[in-house]
Structure 1
Amino acid sequence: MGQSAPGRFRHHRSQQRRGLMTRERREQEIRALIDDWTDAICNGDIKRVLENRTDDIVLYDVPEPLQSTGIKAYEATWSLFFDHNPAGPNRFCFRDIQIVAGEDVAYAFGRLVIGGGDAHCRLTLGLRRVNGEWKVTHEHHSMPIKLG
């Protein structure tokens, strides 16, 4: 007949472990993508900054414009950033990164420190798996302001 309850439980636990390993692997892939991206920004390597972005990426950034849509508009925002922030390891530091990765959709968020600590922002990335590779489809930078 069927498996006994303990056998079903072991099978379920085995599936959970495989799912966890798969989730961890997806999160590691995304972390590696983010690490390479931040390294590219710190070094002013625009070609690498644009890698792993979709052609229809949507960016909400701190400086104007309010929204940039498409890879060309996204690329243009980095010229302004590079002009105002000197290259180096403290140019763009993504900290306290949290990653949630499903099978084909993921998001990451954390704090962003620019220029060695002068500017503190928040950063959220939305990702989608395209042809087996993670691509950033949405990027949102925001800066806290004191009200009152």
Structure 2
Amino acid sequence: MSEDDAQIRAMVHRWATAVREADLDGVLADHPADIVMFDVPPPQNGVRGIEAYRDTWPPFFAWLAQGAVFEIVELEVTAGADVAYAHALLRCGTPESIAAEPGARLRLTLGLRKDRGRWVIAHEHHSFPDVNH
């Protein structure tokens, strides 16, 4: 594993820990002002900019506080000199939803770039498979 891969892997795990701990500053820490995120809940055309990204988290934190789970199960990283991507599978759901579908996973794809020698998450995409088709 390269040093860049290790740095990105550590960053993604820090981000997931911050999400679980409802630490908004920690969630935002490695995201640039021009972050783009496509998420499971609306808006379907995504959110653009750190302020819009910030606004998506309080409702998710409230949902987690009700006992939901958010944990990385699998994480893969591919890093070049200045850009990288990572994809992960997460257990994300309430105890009831996980019991009903124990194999269900949230899919996470991240686009990263080096900004002044530091990796930042410039793009996030969260999705669940459409099991009804």
TM-score range, shorter chain: 0.7 to 0.9
Partner of 2:121 in structure 1? 136
How far apart, in 2, do the equivalents of 1:109 and 1:68 lie?
Answer: 19
Unaligned 5+ runs, structure 2: 99-103
Question: Highest relative contact order (Cα 8 Å, sep 6+), 1 or 2?
Answer: 2
After TM superposition, the score normalised by the length of structure 1 is 0.78
Asked if the contact 2:113/2:121 (under 8 Å) is kept, the reply is yes
Partner of 2:76 in structure 1? 98
Greater CA radius of gyration, 1 or 2? 1
Unaligned 5+ runs, structure 1: 1-22
How far apart, in 1, do the equivalents of 2:77 and 2:117 lie?
Answer: 18
3-state SS, counterpart of residue 92 of structure 1: strand
Q: Which runs of 4+ in 1 moved over 6 A?
A: none
Partner of 1:77 in structure 2? 56
Asked if the contact 1:122/1:143 (under 8 Å) is kept, the reply is yes
- Distance change (3 Å), C-alpha of 1:25 and 1:87: farther
CA displacement 1:57-92 (0-9 Å, x = unmatched): 00000001110000011011111111111277x732
After TM superposition, the score normalised by the length of structure 2 is 0.86
1:114 matched to 2:92: yes
Asked if the contact 2:32/2:121 (under 8 Å) is kept, the reply is yes
CA displacement 1:27-58 (0-9 Å, x = unmatched): 00001101111111111100010001010000
Moved more, 23-32 or 66-75: 23-32
3-state SS, counterpart of residue 32 of structure 2: strand
Asked if the contact 2:20/2:64 (under 8 Å) is kept, the reply is no
